[in-house]
Amino acid sequence: MSFTAPFADITFLAKLFGLDQLETEGLAPELADGLAEAILEEAGKFATDRIAPLNRIGDTIGARFDNGHVTTAPGWIETYRDWAQGGWNGLTASVDHGGQGLPHLLHLACSDMWTSASMAFMLGPMLTSGAIDALAAHGSDELKRIYLAKLVSGEWMGTMNLTEPQAGSDVGALKTRAERTGDGTYRITGQKIYITYGEHDMTENIIHLVLARLPDAPQGSRGISLFLVPKFLVNKDGSLGARNDVRCAGLESKLGIHGSPTCTMIYGDESGAIGYLIGEENRGLNAMFTMMNAARLGVGLQGVAIGERAYQLALSYAKERKQGRALNTKSEGSSAIIEHADIRRMLMLMRAKTDAARAICYMTAAAIDRAHREKDAQKKKQAEERAALLTPVAKSWSTDIGIEVASLGIQIHGGMGFIEASGAAQHLRDARIAAIYEGTNGIQAIDLVTRKITLSDQAFS
Ligand SMILES: Cc1cc2nc3c(=O)[nH]c(=O)nc-3n(C[C@H](O)[C@H](O)[C@H](O)COP(=O)(O)OP(=O)(O)OC[C@H]3O[C@@H](n4cnc5c(N)ncnc54)[C@H](O)[C@@H]3O)c2cc1C
């Protein structure tokens, strides 16, 4: 069940699908002198040595709820602390906020290995990364000053709060209310469901990005605003103040990613949780899309990462398990099942599909980097459109591949694949959610057809 991060292959593919080109065109001069290789090797070591051993514990013990508190699985706090202290959380964030300003593609390639090691563990950092992007792009200078550095360092985690019982794919149906207080802040009241890492014990504060509706807002998605709602209020000097009026009412019991707490969040038991507007009133969905687009690519990568881990497990089993005699074999006795043509077919399919999905995700990240770094306005727009076009494809195709590859991994194990002890079943259970959250794959298809392929031809070049 062990996993070894394939950092040499990943380095090769990350360079092939964008890093080399960014560097040679002068868009990422910081990558000279083998920086990417060195970072990917270290990220791979952390994935193999520290995160991978957490995967099974996360699945079997999972996150636990008790009276509003959520406890993560044994070892998660310490590993997260070491990971954050290693500076891994801030790879792409601006140096102005304590980040390292490195390319998104490099971060995605590191996340590929960390997510293979444990998808449930990496969900918190993935969402924090999206919260950083949204806050950096749309937040006021004051909000950035107070919150960004701690999010970038990983001392605090971020969450994404869209879903409500009656508002899933149809975000415009949300009912959470925001009332102006008159002092520039807002009071938030309502219930959010399925909030990933909504409550946990891994960081001292949790920064919720919450979509809510003002009393005089227009109906539907044009009347939604985005608020920053901290678990603990933050004093002007950055120290933690009183507990805000937000709590976790329970955790979902679910098919997979048991290590990731999926929370029901209650805002405003008393006078309403204090929230701070991000961007403009009624333009919240626009700001949230910055976070969602980052998360969509991150979820697409989950398909790749699970595919990688399922492949490694199936390959190792296929070399050990002996059944029957392979055709054309000269050796005596039964053969390892890897010698059977059908097993080889399935292994090659797993490998090919995982790497094809990886290529699409990496190309999407390369387009995002180009969109951020190009000076030429025409080239910048072209890259933005390419990233917009590729994002729903990366999300939906890669997550479908993750499920298919994890299922093939079970098939290679035979009956043992259906038995939890093999670990193959966990990969399929974990992979299944990726086609559902961050906009179901059906919603991604609608986005691709109605909004993305109508972009200018430049997106396709
Ligand atoms: C483990 C987990 C973690 C999650 N984490 C978060 C989180 O951190 N933050 C958050 O805000 N949410 C989170 N979610 C919620 C997730 O994003 C939603 O479940 C998802 O967007 C789908 O919404 P829904 O469940 O209401 O399904 P529904 O919207 O009810 O969809 C049901 C089915 O109908 C289809 N459908 C719906 N509308 C259309 C349409 N217009 N056209 C065609 N087909 C349609 C869907 O594709 C789907 O197949 C999480 C969910 C889970 C299970």
Neighbours of 407 (CB within 10 A): 18
Query: For 311-330, how does the pLDDT look when each residue is reduced to its tens digit (9 = 90+)?
Result: 999 999 999 999 999 888 88
The pick from 221, 251, 436, 441 for probing ligand 1's pocket by mutation, whose C-beta has the most ligand atoms within 8 angstroms, reads: 436
> Any idea which residues carry the catalytic annotation?
438
Answer whether residue 456 shows pLDDT above 80: no
How close is the Cα of 160 to the center of ligand 1, in Å? 13
Atom of ligand 1 nearest to the CA of 252: 1
Q: Supply the pLDDT for residue 460.
A: 62
Answer whether residue 393 shows pLDDT above 80: yes
How close is the Cα of 168 to the center of ligand 1, in Å? 5
Answer whether residue 461 shows pLDDT above 70: no
The pick from 440, 446, 451 for probing ligand 1's pocket by mutation, whose C-beta has the most ligand atoms within 8 angstroms, reads: 440
Q: Supply the pLDDT for residue 328.
A: 82
Answer whether residue 457 shows pLDDT above 90: no
Asked if 183 and 233 touch (Cβ cutoff 8 Å), the reply is no
Residues 6+ apart with CB under 8 A from 418: 410, 425
Asked if 437 and 402 touch (Cβ cutoff 8 Å), the reply is no
Answer whether residue 458 shows pLDDT above 80: no
Atom of ligand 1 nearest to the CA of 442: 47
Answer whether residue 140 shows pLDDT above 70: yes
Dump the DSSP string for 102-159. --HHHHHHHHHHHHHH-HHHHHHHHHHHHHHHHHHHHS-HHHIIIIIHHHHHTSEEEE
Residues 6+ apart with CB under 8 A from 20: none
Q: Are strands 205-212 and 156-161 parallel, antiparallel or unpaired?
A: parallel
Tokens of 149: 């550095």
Domains, the chain, with CATH or none: 7-153 (1.10.540.10), 157-283 (2.40.110.20), 285-460 (1.20.140.10)
Over residues 327-350, mean pLDDT: 93
Query: For 163-175, how does the pLDDT look when each residue is reduced to its tens digit (9 = 90+)?
Result: 999 999 999 999 9
How close is the Cα of 438 to the center of ligand 1, in Å? 7
Instruction: Evaluate if pTM is beyond 0.85.
Output: yes
Atom of ligand 1 nearest to the CA of 260: 1
Atom of ligand 1 nearest to the CA of 257: 1
Query: For 212-271, how does the pLDDT look when each residue is reduced to its tens digit (9 = 90+)?
Result: 999 999 999 999 999 999 999 999 889 999 999 999 999 999 999 999 999 999 999 999
**What's the whole-number average pLDDT of the chain?**
96
The pick from 119, 123, 169, 433 for probing ligand 1's pocket by mutation, whose C-beta has the most ligand atoms within 8 angstroms, reads: 169
Over residues 2-7, mean pLDDT: 94
Query: For 416-426, how does the pLDDT look when each residue is reduced to its tens digit (9 = 90+)?
Result: 999 999 999 99
Over residues 371-377, mean pLDDT: 95
Q: Supply the pLDDT for residue 236.
A: 86
State how far the alpha carbon of 356 is from the alpha carbons of 299, 308, 401, 435, in Å: 16, 12, 9, 17
Answer whether residue 151 shows pLDDT above 90: yes
- Identify the helix (H) or strand (E) that includes residue 328: none
How close is the Cα of 278 to the center of ligand 1, in Å? 24
Q: Supply the pLDDT for residue 1.
A: 66
Which residues does a 6 A CB cutoff place in the pocket of ligand 1?
A: 160-163, 168-169, 194-196, 254, 262, 433, 436-440, 442-443, 446
Residue 454: pLDDT band (50, 70, 90) is confident
